[in-house]
Amino acid sequence: MSLTLFLCLGSFLYGQEYETILWSPDHRLSWNDFKGEVPDSPRAAATTASGISYEFSSVSNKGKYELDYTVSTFFYPNKSWYQPKICDEVILSHEQLHFDISELFARKMRRLMNETSFTENVKSEVKEIYYRINRELAAFQQMYDRETNFSRNREKQAEWNKKIAKALQPEY
């Protein structure tokens, strides 16, 4: 019942051209956050536009490149829409999980950025990490939609809700 659109912007500043909601564990999406126009012939009940954005700077120190970076997860209200007559709270939770899954992959990108020894090709190395994460994110989102049948399989949806909630728990 939903279709996810990924807006994966390689530049934090570019992403700011859109109204955005930064992912936070304290903010849950509501239907009021979905401000986009419903297409004339929608193939889905709702669409979540979310994605990962990054910015970084680097400094060379004795041949080693140290990065200062930010990786963020955004929801784009004006690119996200829903059909009020057919959407319910289960579909909203399905859409929230698309946003949450984007955050999981932002965390994975942050880990990779921390673990990588960058060279003088730092710009292309960061881009490659970003593209790799986005390929994995897209495949994971498709698997989520397929397994839950776009939220129609309520049992699978409940399983995914638990799985993603657990994955988002802070590590101590």
pLDDT value at residue 170 = 84
Total number of domains in the chain: 1
Give the position of tokens 């990588």: 116
Q: Which regions in the chain score pLDDT beneath 70? A: 1-17, 171-172
CB 125 within 8 A of CB 61: no
C-alpha to C-alpha distance for 134 and 157, rounded to whole angstroms = 23
pLDDT value at residue 63 = 80
C-alpha to C-alpha distance for 52 and 1, rounded to whole angstroms = 23
The residue type of 147 is E
Judge whether 28 lies within some domain.
Answer: yes
Residue 37 phi, psi (nearest 5): -75, 135
pLDDT value at residue 121 = 94
Print the domain residue range for 140: 2-167
Cβ-count burial of 6 within 10 angstroms (0-12 exposed, 13-18 middle, 19+ buried)? Answer: middle
- Here the tokens at position 167 are 């994955």
pLDDT value at residue 8 = 39
Cβ-count burial of 29 within 10 angstroms (0-12 exposed, 13-18 middle, 19+ buried)? Answer: buried
Judge whether 172 lies within some domain.
Answer: no
